[in-house]
């Protein structure tokens, strides 16, 4: 028997296989690749937020040492390159499609944000390319800039795109306004809150990079790039920008050092280096520095909202009304339009039985870097809005904030549960995650801790968030009906080699998630092969049949499910081979973890016996079965998955300086079945770190002229290890009912649930002051202003 010891299957905290190479500095990242004859590119970027380009003079630059080519927007236009495509179309309230202005790979006639690419210089060295870029003379005619939602919508604001009236991309809504308005009119009490969801810069540890290589003998292009989804990049770049058959384009995303959403999208630099490699006849490498990352990676969040709850006399929610403005930036990034609509407004029921909801979302072009999905994407914005509004409501209704939440929870026996905003939740148990989190965080003992802190001159507060999210995106037919221009299935191939080791080809890309371990555990669990004999291959369109990639916490729920389907095919074929070898009927063959058995007998064949027979078919049912043991499956999910849970934060504020210290954080999440508890814990902790960053530290700031003020780590506050306490992570599982693994996803829960828990704790800490709401990030200066401003009112 093929017994696997120690147990490495589902539920085991197997150490991450990939960490051996990462921790030894042996990762193979895009910038580590050097192709024979490689040249280097520098991108000249706009220093203006908004300007006309009257002319670009490259004469002097072209004569500089080492320069192989300089290309401007005029060149890419003349070459017939297409613009960067948008993958999702939203329709406005009145049925008209969203404004979808061109997004050229190099700015043509006009620049629309600081960092907008104007020219690409290809030279022998990076330094020479940069020298030449500095010698390019661009004649700009500055135009009034509108970096903020307010400026872009002001009367008389300069249009950022021709033909886009009022800079409005779309004005969308969901729900029945009349029904919701009526519920408000009849309500016992209503509670309203205006709030901002601050703009964030993703800041993956590895900056973006791309190497383009043209093979003049075959006419094939290869792009090595920092991507979360190489097949999607190939599709978008080949079909829309370079206008090449996909068969002539290979995209490789090797080791990638973090994405958080920012590496989903097709960026101009990818198409530029690929195209330029054919123009100069040499491979072309571009690697962003951190400054470029700040001004060219898609940003996240940036909403302004007004949210209102209507309550009956018992504190039950009757209705929710939301009006949101979303900053799209200067152009539509690949999936930008769906973030503040179908990834946001459809989540506004949260964990509550709100019977009717109306949300309207106005998406606005501004002179800033494009905004797209960033860890959580829409769901953190929805959760922050709901959970802040819940706390404000509890206070104004005079109902305990935990009790108010409990009173409105969707009960555990109400699933499947249809919300008024399209989604149907399959499973969940919000009372249990809440109870467990209250227990672990010692909610009941908080007042004693607050008193002890007060004796030390600190203001201590506790905050809670009970949240839900939708991930595992998603049934292709559903997202298609909502405007997606892609299917959202996943692909998995299981290749059993003759001697029984296994290669898995997956369309899910790993850039920190630990897939090489988790996916191997699935195979180990099902086929009974040690994890060490399972290799996960991803990130190369020449190896993997197809794939939609990694985002929206979908890799296990969708990619893992595709592997399970492919393994089912392997087992089905293996049973036929086993039946032949053991001279039994196929119906009598059982399979369990690597062993085929004739039911009720001690006659068995190991998986390796089957694979040997499949590849050395001397004794084989060759008339009815092809040799080989390799199967591919496409899995299209039946529904989203719905992780949820409870987060509790505890803070202490230095009343003299206003500095907020997060002293405790507890997360109890329902992520469905847990494959590797250690990896889940790490994913939740990382998500919480980014959520805490949003709540307390991070803020992307443009000045009124559209200059990026927080354009470096000197001014953009990333969370550091000493900003975080040990994060307590526990899981409480209800299984997803519609995928073969029962998994829901854990990649984003930390970033979704945590920001309101932290802000609720900060507001609670300031309960003796006159504070209703604090915008993120709750910086020391902001808190001091509150304490100072209400000095005297405090029961100090």
Partner 1 sequence: MYDFAYHKPSTVADAVKLLADPDAKAISGGHTLLPALKHRLNKPTALVDLSGIAELRGIRREGNAVVIGALAKHAEVAASAEVAAAIPALAFMADHIGDVQVRNRGTIGGSVSNNDPAADYPAAVLGLGATIRTSKREIAADDFFLGMFTTALEPDEILTAISFPIPEKAGYAKMRNPASRYVMAGAFVSKGPQGVRVAITGAGPCVFRQADMEAALAANWSADAVAGIKQAPDDLNSDIHGSAEYRAHLVTVMAKRAVANAG
Using CB under 8 A, list all residues that contact partner 1.
127, 130, 134, 291, 656-657, 659, 697, 699, 701, 709-710, 713-718, 779-781, 784-785, 788
624/656 with CB nearer partner 1: 656
The single residue listed with the structure tokens 């892609």 is 486
3-state DSSP of 239-288: HHHCCCCHHHEEEECCECCCCCCCCCCCCHHHHHHHHHHHHHCCCEEEEC
323/701 with CB nearer partner 1: 701
291/533 with CB nearer partner 1: 291
CA proximity to 79, closest of 231, 295, 272: 272
How many C-beta atoms surround the C-beta of residue 232 within 10 A? Answer: 26
**Token pair of 687 as six digits:** 């998500």
Q: Give the DSSP H/E element, type plus range, for residue 727.
A: strand 727-731
The single residue listed with the structure tokens 């900003």 is 723
Partners of 463 in the β-ladder:
649
Q: Please report the beta strands in 109-244, taking only residues with DSSP state E, as ranges in sequence order.
A: 110-111, 117-123, 137-142, 168-174, 189-197, 209-215, 220-225
499/788 with CB nearer partner 1: 788
∠ CA 205-206-211 to the nearest 5 degrees?
A: 170
- Least distance in Å: CB of 701 to partner 1? 6
d(CA 49, CA 366): 9
- Least distance in Å: CB of 791 to partner 1? 11
- Least distance in Å: CB of 443 to partner 1? 29
Peptide bond between residue 227 and the one before it cis (omega within 30 degrees of 0): no
644/711 with CB nearer partner 1: 711
- Least distance in Å: CB of 298 to partner 1? 21
- Least distance in Å: CB of 58 to partner 1? 20
- Least distance in Å: CB of 720 to partner 1? 8
81/700 with CB nearer partner 1: 700
**Token pair of 706 as six digits:** 């559209």
Side-chain-side CA neighbours of 457 within 13 Å: the count stands at 6
403/703 with CB nearer partner 1: 703
**Residue pair 347/387 in contact by the 8 Å Cβ criterion:** no
130/485 with CB nearer partner 1: 130
Label residue 454 exposed, middle or buried (CB < 10 Å: 0-12, 13-18, 19+): middle
- Least distance in Å: CB of 717 to partner 1? 4
- Least distance in Å: CB of 649 to partner 1? 18
∠ CA 286-17-723 to the nearest 5 degrees?
A: 70
Partners of 286 in the β-ladder:
210
Q: Give the DSSP H/E element, type plus range, for residue 149.
A: helix 149-153
- Least distance in Å: CB of 77 to partner 1? 30
64/607 with CB nearer partner 1: 64
- Least distance in Å: CB of 646 to partner 1? 28
130/638 with CB nearer partner 1: 130
**Token pair of 288 as six digits:** 């962003």
- Least distance in Å: CB of 127 to partner 1? 8
**Token pair of 196 as six digits:** 């901002």
CA proximity to 255, closest of 18, 553, 580: 18
- Report the SS3 class of residue 356: strand
292/308 with CB nearer partner 1: 292
d(CA 30, CA 209): 6
């Amino acid at each position: 028997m093929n017994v696997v010891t120690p147990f490495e299957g589902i539920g085991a905290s197997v150490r991450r296989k990939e960490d051996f190479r990462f921790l030894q500095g042996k990762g193979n990242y895009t910038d580590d690749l050097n192709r024979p004859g490689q040249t280097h590119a520098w991108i000249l970027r706009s220093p203006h937020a908004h300007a006309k380009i009257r002319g670009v003079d490259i004469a002097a630059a072209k004569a500089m040492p080492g320069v192989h080519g300089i290309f401007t927007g005029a060149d890419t236009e003349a070459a017939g390159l297409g613009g960067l495509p948008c993958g999702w179309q939203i329709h406005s309230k009145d049925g008209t499609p969203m404004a979808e202005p061109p997004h050229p790979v190099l700015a043509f006639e006009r620049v629309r944000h600081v960092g907008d690419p104007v020219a690409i210089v290809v030279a022998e060295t990076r330094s020479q390319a940069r020298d030449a870029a500095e010698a390019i003379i661009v004649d700009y005619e500055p135009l009034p800039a509108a970096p903020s939602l307010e400026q872009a919508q002001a009367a008389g604001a300069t249009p950022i795109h021709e033909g886009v009236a009022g800079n409005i991309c779309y004005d969308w809504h969901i729900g029945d306004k009349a029904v919701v308005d009526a519920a408000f009119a009849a309500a016992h009490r209503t509670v309203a809150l205006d709030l901002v969801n601050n703009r964030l810069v993703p800041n993956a540890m590895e900056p973006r990079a791309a190497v383009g290589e043209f093979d003049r003998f075959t006419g094939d292009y290869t792009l090595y790039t920092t991507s979360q989804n190489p097949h999607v990049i190939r599709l978008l770049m080949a079909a829309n920008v370079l206008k090449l058959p996909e068969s002539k384009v290979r995209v490789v995303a090797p080791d990638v050092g973090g994405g958080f959403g920012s590496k989903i999208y097709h960026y101009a630099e990818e198409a530029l280096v690929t195209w330029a490699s054919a123009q100069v006849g040499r491979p072309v490498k571009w690697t962003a520095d951190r400054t470029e990352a700040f001004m060219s990676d898609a940003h996240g969040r940036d909403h302004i909202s007004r949210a209102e709850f209507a309550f009956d006399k018992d504190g039950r929610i009757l209705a929710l009304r939301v009006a949101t403005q979303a900053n799209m930036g200067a152009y539509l990034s690949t999936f930008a339009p769906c973030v503040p609509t179908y990834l946001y407004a459809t989540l506004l029921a949260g964990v509550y039985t709100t019977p009717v909801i109306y949300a309207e979302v106005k998406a606005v072009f501004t002179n800033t870097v494009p905004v797209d999905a960033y860890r959580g994407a829409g769901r953190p914005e929805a959760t922050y809005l709901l959970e802040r509004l819940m706390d404000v409501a509890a206070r104004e209704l005079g109902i305990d904030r935990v009790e108010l939440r409990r009173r409105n929870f969707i009960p555990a026996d109400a699933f499947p549960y249809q919300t008024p905003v399209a989604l149907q939740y399959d499973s969940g148990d919000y009372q249990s995650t809440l109870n467990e989190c209250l227990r672990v965080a010692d909610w009941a003992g908080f007042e004693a801790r607050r008193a002890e802190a007060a004796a030390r001159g600190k203001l201590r507060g506790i905050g809670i968030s009970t949240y839900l999210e939708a991930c595992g995106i998603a049934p292709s037919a559903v997202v298609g009906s909502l405007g997606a221009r892609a299917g959202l299935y996943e692909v998995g191939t299981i290749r059993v080699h003759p001697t029984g080791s296994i290669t898995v080809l997956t369309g899910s890309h790993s850039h920190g998630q630990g897939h090489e371990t988790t996916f191997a555990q699935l195979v180990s669990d099902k086929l009974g092969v040690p994890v060490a004999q399972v290799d996960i291959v991803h990130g190369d369109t020449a190896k993997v049949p197809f794939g939609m990639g990694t985002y929206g916490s979908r890799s296990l729920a969708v990619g893992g499910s595709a592997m399970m389907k492919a393994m089912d095919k392997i087992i089905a074929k293996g049973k036929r081979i086993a039946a032949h070898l053991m001279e039994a009927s196929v119906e009598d063959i059982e399979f369990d973890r690597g062993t085929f058995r004739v039911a009720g007998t001690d006659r068995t064949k190991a998986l390796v016996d089957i694979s040997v027979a499949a590849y050395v078919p001397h004794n084989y049912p060759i008339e009815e079965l092809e040799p080989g043991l390799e199967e591919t499956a496409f899995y299209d999910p039946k529904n989203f998955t719905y992780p949820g849970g409870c987060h509790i934060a505890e803070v202490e504020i230095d009343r003299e300086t206003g500095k907020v210290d997060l002293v405790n954080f507890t997360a109890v999440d329902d992520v469905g079945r847990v494959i590797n508890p250690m990896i889940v814990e790490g994913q939740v902790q990382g998500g919480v770190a980014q959520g805490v960053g949003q709540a307390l530290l991070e803020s992307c700031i443009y000045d009124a002229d559209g200059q990026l003020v927080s354009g470096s780590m000197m001014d953009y506050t990333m969370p550091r290890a000493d900003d975080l306490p040990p994060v307590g992570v526990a899981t409480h599982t209800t299984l997803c009912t519609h995928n073969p693994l029962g998994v829901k996803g854990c990649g984003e829960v930390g970033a979704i649930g945590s920001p309101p828990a932290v802000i609720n704790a900060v507001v609670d800490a300031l309960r003796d002051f006159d504070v209703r709401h604090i915008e993120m990030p709750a910086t020391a200066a902001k808190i001091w202003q509150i304490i100072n401003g209400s000095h005297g009112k405090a029961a100090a």
